[in-house]
Structure 1
Amino acid sequence: MAKTMQAVVLHGREDLRLETVSVPEIGPGELLVRVGAALTCGTDLKVFRRGYHAKMLVPPTLFGHEIAGTVVAMGEGVAGFKPGDRIVASNSAPCGACLFCRRDQPNLCSDLLFNNGAYAEYIRIPARIVEKNTLHIPDGVPFEHAALMEPLACVVLGLEQCFPKPGDTLVVIGAGPIGLMFIRTAHINGCRVIAVVKRDDQIASAKRFGADEVVQIAEGVDTVAAVRALTPENEGADIVVECVATPSTWEQSVDMVRKGGTVNFFGGPPSGTVVALDTNRLHYGDITLKATFHHTPATNRRAFELITSGRMRAEDFITATASLSDVPDVFAKMLVRSDNRMLDIKTAILPGSAA
């Protein structure tokens, strides 16, 4: 096998470069995987814009984290995998020993091990991720569909932590990739879904993914009132999931939920952001406020089952493909998306395609 490969390297703020680098060396318990597909992600976009991620990477560094591919080599002691196996690996794995892991909150692990380097010809999968968060891809499931597992696992955890029941009215604010995953997953769980969107093209997208009603944000429209008008007796939704990550939508989400309902602040605004909430409404309305971070080994498996069963319709999320050499341009375009044109949901980066 070649000793070098093509890979996308993050050098800093809005600085991605396709470079020739060494193929990763693997140690005990690790896998070397030929990347079949890597997906673009909103987290990667934020890292590209910011130039770093305090928890996951410091430039210059290999980039990207949603991947699926084929095992080409194994380190000593690997069990359950062999060369030629088609696998999907998540971007992290918990330690299993810290306070949070012991309390069955592995998404909050004090020693969460992250992995990056998906936009490349090969990627090393660390032993802990091999053990806890690497799964075999069934025949007939494309790599780009399998690679959706990690972000969907975050959504599955977020929805499960809201304890939805069939027939519940659930509002999703935002119709980007994560918002659309929430819409689809809530629909699968039997919820009546109201989507709150901004652009014209998102109306059709939200309905295609399972929204029963759509409220479009517009000048002169009271978004909260429009949402509440679609709920039983105008009392508000049972569950509101915020996927936009702005102070205004955090505040609106609390006004959209009914007494006794739950708000999930899934979208995380920048550090230091402050919001104003009506404490009287929270207290006397008995409203539950929560936020969900990351995923767990269990939700990775439940998300993967949604994909492999076909219920998630993963093909609907993959709206464009590109080669490794296209990645810098893909992210540059993601930064300047227009509010008035149809946007790609996720782009599948296919290292085997022509550069």
Structure 2
Amino acid sequence: MKQIIQSFKTGETKLEEVPAPQVKRGCLLIRTSKSLVSLGTERMLVEFGKSNYLQKAKQQPDKVKQVLDKIKTDGLKPTVEAVFNKLGEPIPLGYCNVGEVIAVGEGVSGFEVGDRVASNGAHAEFVCVPKNLVAHIPDNVSDEEAAFTVVGSIGLQGIRLLNPTLGETVVVIGLGLIGLLTAQLLKANGCRVIGSDLDEEKLALAEKWGIVPFNSGKGDVVKFVEEQTGGVGADGVVITASAQTDAIISQAARMSRKRGKIVLVGVIGLNISRAEFYDKELTFQVSCSYGPGRYDDNYEQKGIDYPLPFVRWTEQRNFESVLYSISSGALHVKEMITEVVPLDEYKKIYGDIGSHRSIASIISYDSGEK
């Protein structure tokens, strides 16, 4: 089968011919029809792969410290060999997959061969995914729309941590793919939403959905939020931007009301001013991916679910919530699709991903999808 992989050694993004996976216990084998490119996350991986060793080290100072510690314990030569071996391992790209179940692993219930499902599978013709990372697609949701399930869950988890109430004003900083989804979900939750970005096209799209737009490159976003809230400030701020600057977290603090909440979904500089947070007693939290269960092997790999009365929202239940929002018309995703590209033409997306202007790029697989 064909799969898109990223080499950290050569910097190449390649479409490789690799063995197709076999269904495993607790998993579903899925034939892919569509997959969504998460331009923010995948851009970082591709650009990291293309950078030289010094640039890689500067981007991951925590890993440099681990290497130095390993040199002290294991010696220079074994450490160097281990580092180069690690960089030589290509990684699969993608985590927003849609397709049809073609095999059900032992111990899996609730799924059948022929089911249309969304999962966090990679950009590959076939994927084998643990059952807790798969969700059924409603009949009135197309494969292209369902491809937004996982990336939508990232924004939704940030909202769940913020826990806004009806009528509150929430600012979304960064109206990329996740930011536009987050803003819409907040709107559906009864919030007054202000969206801040530099891109006029994204701001116009947000305004169409009832979100108050502001171009942060043309004015003072903190002053704008104060004016929009009668001097009170935002009840909550969700940061979905990706930028290596400390200015964004400072802006978020200054635009917040006293005892407001800030949730980070994106990737930004985090040199926080104590005074800005202290004076207002602000709450700051970093959101972890798709929700409870993420990076827990018992949940993800072994299929042990968290009991719903005690953990209402998990990764899978967030997936289902996003799909329901699309199905009910509360979440609009079709207008975000900039391009649909056949798998063999993947370089149209990845060839110059650093300057790609797409909001949502979808890869299409020849599988007769809905």
The CA deviation at 1:140 is 2.9
In the alignment, is the contact (CA less than 8 A) between 2:237 and 2:252 conserved in 1?
yes
With over 3 angstroms needed to count, the CA separation of the structure-2 counterparts of 1:218 and 1:142, relative to structure 1, is: same
Indicate yes or no: 2:364 matched with 1:350.
Answer: yes
Structure 1 length-normalised TM: 0.79
Indicate yes or no: 2:285 matched with 1:255.
Answer: no
In the alignment, is the contact (CA less than 8 A) between 1:323 and 1:353 conserved in 2?
no
Indicate yes or no: 2:308 matched with 1:289.
Answer: no
**Paired residues, what number?**
307
The CA deviation at 1:124 is 1.4
State the partner residue of 2:342: 323
State the partner residue of 2:125: 121
State the partner residue of 2:303: none
In the alignment, is the contact (CA less than 8 A) between 1:14 and 1:332 conserved in 2?
no
Question: What do the CA deviations read for 1:171-225 (whole angstroms, capped 9, x no partner)?
Answer: 11111011101110111111111111112222202212331x2221235x32321
Query: Counterparts of 1:218 and 1:62 in 2: how far apart (Å)?
Result: 35
State the partner residue of 2:181: 181
State the partner residue of 1:77: 107
Structure 2 length-normalised TM: 0.76
The CA deviation at 1:353 is 7.8
Indicate yes or no: 2:27 matched with 1:30.
Answer: yes
What one-letter code is carried by the residue in structure 1 that aligns with 2:90?
A: P
From 12, 15, 39, the counterpart of 1:15: 12
The CA deviation at 1:14 is 4.2
With over 3 angstroms needed to count, the CA separation of the structure-2 counterparts of 1:257 and 1:8, relative to structure 1, is: same
Query: Counterparts of 2:358 and 2:146 in 1: how far apart (Å)?
Result: 18
Question: What do the CA deviations read for 1:75-116 (whole angstroms, capped 9, x no partner)?
Answer: 333322222111112x3xxxxxxxxxxxxxxxxxxxxxxxx5
From 221, 224, 245, the counterpart of 2:222: 224
The CA deviation at 1:58 is 7.6
Query: Counterparts of 2:331 and 2:180 in 1: how far apart (Å)?
Result: 11
State the partner residue of 2:267: 268
Indicate yes or no: 2:173 matched with 1:159.
Answer: no
The CA deviation at 1:258 is 0.8
Query: Higher helix proportion, which one?
Result: 2
Spell out the pairing of 1:186-197 with structure 2 (5 A cutoff). Answer: 186-197=186-197
In the alignment, is the contact (CA less than 8 A) between 2:154 and 2:265 conserved in 1?
no
In the alignment, is the contact (CA less than 8 A) between 1:196 and 1:215 conserved in 2?
yes
Question: Structure 2 stretches of 5 or more lacking a match?
Answer: 51-55, 64-86, 292-314
What one-letter code is carried by the residue in structure 2 that aligns with 1:345?
A: I
With over 3 angstroms needed to count, the CA separation of the structure-2 counterparts of 1:184 and 1:14, relative to structure 1, is: farther
Question: Structure 1 stretches of 5 or more lacking a match?
Answer: 92-115, 338-342
Identity of aligned residues (%): 28
What one-letter code is carried by the residue in structure 2 that aligns with 1:251?
A: S
With over 3 angstroms needed to count, the CA separation of the structure-2 counterparts of 1:312 and 1:11, relative to structure 1, is: same
State the partner residue of 2:77: none
In the alignment, is the contact (CA less than 8 A) between 2:204 and 2:213 conserved in 1?
no
CA root-mean-square deviation: 2.5
In the alignment, is the contact (CA less than 8 A) between 1:180 and 1:209 conserved in 2?
no
Question: What do the CA deviations read for 1:211-248 (whole angstroms, capped 9, x no partner)?
Answer: 1x2221235x323212222112x221111111213321
What one-letter code is carried by the residue in structure 2 that aligns with 1:16?
A: T
With over 3 angstroms needed to count, the CA separation of the structure-2 counterparts of 1:169 and 1:59, relative to structure 1, is: same
